[in-house]
Amino acid sequence: DAMGEEAANKSPFKVDIPWDPDVNKVDYNETFFKFFFPSLAGKAKLLDKWLSDPRCPRYDTAKNDKIVFHREDDEDPDKLIRLCITLMIVGSLKVQNGVENLWKRGPSEGFEPHANFGQFIPANYFECFVAGFPFLWCDEKYWYTDPKLLPWEVVLPFFDECNSKRNTLLAVIYLLLDESMSGWRP
């Protein structure tokens, strides 16, 4: 093993992150957003602005369903963005027969009942969120560009903020070179 004994016995975290094997004692969703995910401050208002333009692919849905993400009077005006990100992560663990099945409820064909995401947020809200999420960190000049012509500058601010969070959170103890790379393309 190339990792020294000192590194093997040291926590990789620069800050003390709450943890307990009993998931009811720690709000891991709050921990995720506080320590690992880029700031969501103002993102709901930004998504509402993106949805309010007739050039937006979900403009009609947002207008007809009166979809508004920013909740000015709430303690956390960006809570619907946080909820949608949480559902996106949970949904990645549940999707078997398509995203639309995440809003079904009752018994499914498998061992678990349908996810029933509708108890948390309507499907149209989530569709609007998914359409606008990639643009929440980029310059507004890219918002209504043909998706085939979008440059990496659209997602770089998001990744830069993710890396900044990691740099303040994690201490590099052991460096491993790897040939893997992201397959996602804007």
Please report the pLDDT score of residue 177 as a whole number. Answer: 58
Q: What pLDDT score was predicted for residue 18?
A: 82
Contacts of 7 (CB under 8 A, 6+ apart): 173, 174
Q: What per-residue confidence (pLDDT) applies to 1?
A: 46
Binned average pLDDT, 10 residues per bin, the chain of 186 residues: 56 78 89 92 97 97 97 94 92 73 83 84 94 96 94 94 86 62 52
Q: Are 186 and 151 in contact (CB under 8 A)?
A: yes
For the chain, where are the alpha helices, taking DSSP H only?
5-8, 28-31, 43-51, 59-64, 79-94, 123-132, 156-169
Amino acid at 93: L
pTM for this structure? 0.81
Report residue 86 CA to chain centroid gap.
Answer: 6
Spatial contact of 80 and 120, defined as CB atoms under 8 Å apart: no
Alpha carbon distance 105, 138 (integer Å): 36
Query: What is the reported pLDDT for 160?
Result: 93
- Residue 62 to residue 52: CA distance in whole angstroms: 8
- Our measurement of the distance from residue 3's CA atom to the centroid of its chain's CA atoms, rounded to an integer in Å, reads 33
